[in-house]
Amino acid sequence: MVSVWKATITALALLALGGCGGQAGKPASGGMAARADAPLPFGTNAIGEECRAIPAAGDGGTRPFGLFCGAWEQASGSIAVTGLYDLLPDEPSARLRQLAVEGGRTGWAGSLAQRANCQPAQPIALADGSSALLANCQLREGGWPWVGITLARGKQLYQADGIPAVADLLLGMADRLEGKGGEAPTARMQDIQAALRAALGDDALRFGRGDLNDFERLSELGRLSNSVEDYAAAEEAYRRALAIQTRALGDDSPGAGDTLMALALEVSNQGRGEEADGLFRRADRLLQQSFDKAARARLASYMAFHAANNGEEKRALSLSRDASATRRALVDDLEDAAGGGANRAVLGSLAAARGDLIHSLLLEATVSLRLKQYGLAEAAAAEADRLYQRTRGLPPWWNARILGIHGLALAGRGDVAGGAALLSKAVASNRQLFGQGWPVASAMLELGRVYAQAGQDAAAASIYREGLAMVRDLPGGAPLPLDRIMPYLAVLDRMAAADPAARPALNAEMFLAVQQVREGVVGQTITRAATRFATADPTVADLVRQQQDAVRERDRLRIEAAAETAKPDSQRDRAREATLLKQLETAATSAQALERQLQAAFPNYARLSRAAPVAPADLSALLRADEAVIYHVFGSEGGFGFVVRRDGVTAFPVSLSRAALEERVASLRRGLTPRAGALPPFDLALSHDLYRRLLGPADAALQGARSLVFVPTAALLSLPPALLVSAPGDAGDYAGAAWLIRGRSVSVVPSIPALVALERLAARPAAPKPFIGFAAPPFQGTKGGNGMAALAQSCRTDAVMDPALLRALTPLPETADEVRQVGGKLGAVPADILTGAAVTKAAVRDRGLGDYRVIYFATHGLLPGELRCQTQPGLALAPPASRPASAADDGLLTASDIALLRLKADLVVLSACNTAGGDARLGGEALSGLAESFFFAGARSLLVTHWQVPSLPTVRLMTGLFDRAAAQGDLAGALAAAQRAMVAQPASAHPFNWAAFTLVGAAGPAQAAGE
């Protein structure tokens, strides 16, 4: 998927998730900051909380109040009192009709309509013989039940809205505000509550402001995470929000359909299409019960995003156009109903409907861009712009998104200058709103790509440099897909070809840029491990929370200040503007100070969550003369390779896309899977072709390199480098093949920062004990089933792992002897060989692993090609007899669990892993994420398998490795020598027997081998 596609879809997803009204908990009258006036006691709500009405600032014609219950600082409802010009008619039917007319004219009605969808208000009799109008509503954000109430006393119009639990209090607002107190003046409160339950469900009256607070906070976190393309964090936030909603309202609440859609989209954004399909089906079922007329159109839009993520452009266009047609019809109906504009409720609904239509039109434009139908894209963007300019109250950042998409359409038609001008306006608009934030950087990357595709390399390089510098400076960085910067790499490569003298500096710039890429399973694993590390330490968690809150407050103030300064001079409030700017300066200073405090006080957390790119010169200084670091990256249309030596970095294009690479790796892996008890032939010619594409352009840069350190990405993470063949040979001649390990040692590292960090561990004291091993957990297998596939497909989020899933894994009884033999070779005592039911999480956690130089796990690794439902890669240990109360004892040692260990191991062995993945996808990315967690815990090296090898060849290779390491002091060299020895024997020459083993991490001296 090309960069414009994914980038634009991402930004549109932010519009979709952001809504066009205010937050659900804010009073409908708007801007209701509480004043110092004494609160008015207002009675007890339906969940037993004492409530009070607090006067708030309003305009001259309205008296607003916030209704606060319990200890919550957010209002459970709002009240607005407005004067009427004339008394309402006495005749009941005429009185109700006029009450509805007057009620629809107020600012309260317009604000409520923007934030909630309401059914037509129904009359309800009060004790004094008058009637009120009661509307059952759903908040536009999250679909939570909400009520609206309108009544009149004399020439005063009383209007209120809030959670259903305060409905009885609001019906009595007139008497309570006049100080009469007492019970709500209605003789039929039971009938009212029965009507509410019938319309909204039995749970509607039982949730409070606290539930909504938690939901709103998590929804905001989901939107913010989505805005920086951190889809994994957004998914986690929406899952937690959904749990709160279903706990409060039940599993069948129609409002949960909105949250499910948001969750489904975040899952889709991470490439997990099948899982997203299931979530969308659940959302569809719930939304069929909703009285929101736009719900189906909203679902069609989200499904269009999903189709776009799946590469189904035509279906995405069809769905988005269907959504636009439905929303356009709603807008037309509301515009007809608005008439002269006296009905503020209709105008509020019209603003919300126009916002929805803008969303659909921008999606249409984006899909048209993908299909290169630039005229259609321009037309849709122009219509969206016209709607935006006509509609007050829409979020100001939408303007930048409209400008950006319109600019991309113009550039696609060949009007580069016009397109760049609009994109430049988008950058300027975002900069005013967000300062140096991700939206600004993202728009700059789009502008840079336009220049790059037009061949304006100097302009492209300049704008990319500024945008990426901004990304580097963001607290925690931002998940950055490679396709966003591939045009930049191409620009720098062209500039280097045109100016050879500048090539070293330009290649170094390319190398720094690709280190900013953070995507896929590796990035998700590291993010979740960082989160777990933070939550495990209350002090870290509190500081992280303070820093995140400070950033959100800074961004909120920046948007409000920008909105005020953007007004015409006649409408600007200079005093408010000055106050906002002063508050913004204070908030920005606070956010920066907390970020510095976090990094200084907790460098381990900062290292895991905020790893900085490594300059080529700094990496070169760590390398020996015969050592080379090899780094490849792959986008949707091609890739780049890098070789770092002591004298600098060489960059070169690679003629392989991510998809083409995955196809070749999968084909090679098929030659390593036994069938019917026999080994299939391994494709030596394909292996050589892959070597030629990956390393052929770097022949000169690799001259004299005898120690190769690979930093694999994409499908290369599932291919041991030792499998590459450097010269043509005869098919089936495994003993004579020019394997990469002939004359060279090979190791891998999960990232460049990890390589540098590992070098810092080299001088630490050795751990006192030689070896501890964990093997043969009591798995039982299943008849004709695939236990690993079921485990990989499980959806556990933060829940306890079902022990039955672990028990269904294939037994590994022979690994017990494997660990005993290897442990005996290294001088282990019997107590340090744990097998069977003793291989528990408690044993791993409590045995003091920091005392051991070699830690050996001979068990299944969960290395899925995709991380479903917030799962993590991990190691399968002994399942408990029954489902435990906590995930701390559930039998799956996750990457987050590993990151919390404290190790001094020179080597950790994972001898039964399989990066073919339990979900039929390549799982090397999961293994790389798992390795990062071990390194963070303190391990210096890992020896891992990419497929399960029988214990006999495993023991041969391991004993050969440790014998040679004791003599050579070089783990990578010892592994290569042990592998060459196995290649030399016809019985073990097939790469299935020896190539599975890969050294990950530091390749230098292994103290454990000789002590």
Q: 460-475 b/e with 16+ CB inside 10 Å = b?
A: bbebbbbbbebbbebb
Q: Which of residues 141 and 612 earns the better pLDDT score?
A: 141
Rounded to whole angstroms, the Cα distance separating 912 from 776 reads 10
Rounded (10°) angle between helices 295-309 and 256-269: 10
Decide if 177 contacts 53 (C-beta within 8 A): yes
pLDDT for 199: 57
Confidence of residue 579 (pLDDT cuts 50, 70, 90): confident
Confidence of residue 477 (pLDDT cuts 50, 70, 90): low
Q: Considering only 237-246, 248-257, 324-333, 999-1008, which range has the smallest mean pLDDT? A: 999-1008
Of 682, 680, 708, nearest in space to 694 by CA: 708
pLDDT for 135: 92
What HEC string does 916-978 produce?
Answer: CCCCCCCCHHHHHHHHHHHHHHCCCEEEEECCCCCHHHHHHHHHHHHHHHHHHCCHHHHHHHH
Sign of torsion over alpha carbons 472, 237, 319, 315: positive
Rounded to whole angstroms, the Cα distance separating 141 from 117 reads 10
The two structure tokens encoding residue 210: 């606290």
Q: Which of residues 533 and 131 earns the better pLDDT score?
A: 131
pLDDT for 574: 76
pLDDT for 269: 87
Q: Considering only 75-84, 160-169, 281-290, 338-347, which range has the smallest mean pLDDT? A: 338-347
Distance, CA of 577 to chain centre: 35
Residue 785 has pLDDT above 80, yes or no: no
Decide if 438 contacts 227 (C-beta within 8 A): yes
Q: Which of residues 960 and 552 earns the better pLDDT score?
A: 960
Residue 772 has pLDDT above 80, yes or no: yes
Residue 74 has pLDDT above 70, yes or no: yes
Task: State the CB neighbour count (10 A cutoff) for residue 993.
Answer: 24
Question: Residue 320: which residues within 8 A CB-CB, separation 6 or more?
Answer: 300, 301, 304, 360, 363, 364, 367
**Phi and psi torsions of 357, nearest 5°:** -65, -40
Contacts 24+ apart (CB under 8 A), 569-575: none
DSSP-assigned states of every residue in 364-397:
HHHHHHHTT-HHHHHHHHHHHHHHHHH-TTS-TH
Confidence of residue 594 (pLDDT cuts 50, 70, 90): confident
Task: State the CB neighbour count (10 A cutoff) for residue 570.
Answer: 5
Q: Which of residues 529 and 753 earns the better pLDDT score?
A: 753
The two structure tokens encoding residue 287: 């939304």
Of 161, 200, 171, nearest in space to 76 by CA: 161
348-370 tens-digit pLDDT: 888 888 988 998 899 899 888 98
801-847 tens-digit pLDDT: 778 888 888 888 888 988 999 899 899 999 999 999 999 999 999 99
Confidence of residue 520 (pLDDT cuts 50, 70, 90): very low
Confidence of residue 917 (pLDDT cuts 50, 70, 90): very low
**Phi and psi torsions of 752, nearest 5°:** -65, -45
Q: Which of residues 587 and 459 earns the better pLDDT score?
A: 459
Confidence of residue 947 (pLDDT cuts 50, 70, 90): confident
Q: Considering only 159-168, 193-202, 369-378, 501-510, which range has the smallest mean pLDDT? A: 193-202
Residue 430 has pLDDT above 90, yes or no: no
Across the strands, what pairs with 735?
Answer: none
Q: Considering only 146-155, 569-578, 729-738, which range has the smallest mean pLDDT? A: 569-578
648-685 tens-digit pLDDT: 999 999 999 999 999 999 999 999 988 877 899 999 99
Decide if 334 contacts 353 (C-beta within 8 A): yes
pLDDT for 431: 86
Rounded to whole angstroms, the Cα distance separating 583 from 827 reads 65
| Measured CA distances, 46 to 49, 142, 158, 203, 795 (Å) | 8, 22, 21, 11, 36
pLDDT for 690: 97
Q: Phi/psi class of residue 809: alpha, beta or left (left: φ > 0; alpha: ψ in -120 to 50)?
A: beta
Decide if 61 contacts 249 (C-beta within 8 A): no
Across the strands, what pairs with 162?
Answer: 77, 147
Residue 980 has pLDDT above 90, yes or no: yes
CA atoms within 13 Å, Cβ hemisphere of 609: 24
Rounded to whole angstroms, the Cα distance separating 606 from 627 reads 29
Q: What is the mean pLDDT of residues 92-105?
A: 92
Decide if 653 contacts 639 (C-beta within 8 A): yes
| C-alpha dihedral, 9 to 12 to 14 to 19, nearest 10° | -150
Beta strand 941-945 pairing with 997-1001: antiparallel
Q: What is the mean pLDDT of residues 401-421?
A: 95
Confidence of residue 202 (pLDDT cuts 50, 70, 90): low
Q: What is the mean pLDDT of residues 268-284?
A: 89
8-38 tens-digit pLDDT: 444 444 444 444 433 333 333 333 333 446 7
Confidence of residue 868 (pLDDT cuts 50, 70, 90): very low
The two structure tokens encoding residue 9: 């879809």
Q: Considering only 71-80, 170-179, 869-878, which range has the smallest mean pLDDT? A: 869-878
**Does residue 770 sit in helix, strand or coil?**
strand
Distance, CA of 575 to chain centre: 39
Q: Which of residues 101 and 223 earns the better pLDDT score?
A: 101
Sign of torsion over alpha carbons 278, 280, 282, 284: negative
- DSSP annotation of 766 reads P
Q: Which of residues 235 and 866 earns the better pLDDT score?
A: 235
Q: What is the mean pLDDT of residues 52-74?
A: 87
Rounded to whole angstroms, the Cα distance separating 976 from 708 reads 11
Rounded to whole angstroms, the Cα distance separating 110 from 98 reads 17
Q: Considering only 24-38, 75-89, 103-117, 435-449, which range has the smallest mean pLDDT? A: 24-38
Rounded to whole angstroms, the Cα distance separating 713 from 696 reads 18
Residue 442 has pLDDT above 70, yes or no: yes
**Does residue 852 sit in helix, strand or coil?**
strand
Rounded to whole angstroms, the Cα distance separating 528 from 305 reads 25
Q: Where are the beta strands (DSSP E) in 75-155?
A: 77-83, 116-118, 122-125, 131-139, 145-153
Rounded to whole angstroms, the Cα distance separating 380 from 85 reads 45
Rounded (10°) angle between helices 107-115 and 344-370: 30
Rounded to whole angstroms, the Cα distance separating 854 from 846 reads 17
534-572 tens-digit pLDDT: 445 667 667 766 776 777 677 667 667 766 665 656 566
Of 149, 159, 126, nearest in space to 196 by CA: 149
Q: Considering only 1-5, 285-289, 889-893, which range has the smallest mean pLDDT? A: 1-5
pLDDT for 918: 37
Rounded (10°) angle between helices 397-412 and 3-18: 150
Beta strand 874-876 pairing with 892-894: antiparallel
DSSP-assigned states of every residue in 302-349:
HHHHHHHHTT-HHHHHHHHHHHHHHHHHHHHHHHHHHTTS--HHHHHH
Q: Considering only 25-39, 66-80, 391-405, 448-462, which range has the smallest mean pLDDT? A: 25-39
pLDDT for 439: 83
111-120 tens-digit pLDDT: 898 889 898 9
Q: What is the mean pLDDT of the chain?
A: 82
Rounded to whole angstroms, the Cα distance separating 884 from 881 reads 8
Decide if 185 contacts 193 (C-beta within 8 A): no
Helix (H) or strand (E) segment spanning residue 474: none
Q: What is the mean pLDDT of residues 335-347?
A: 80
CA atoms within 13 Å, Cβ hemisphere of 402: 23
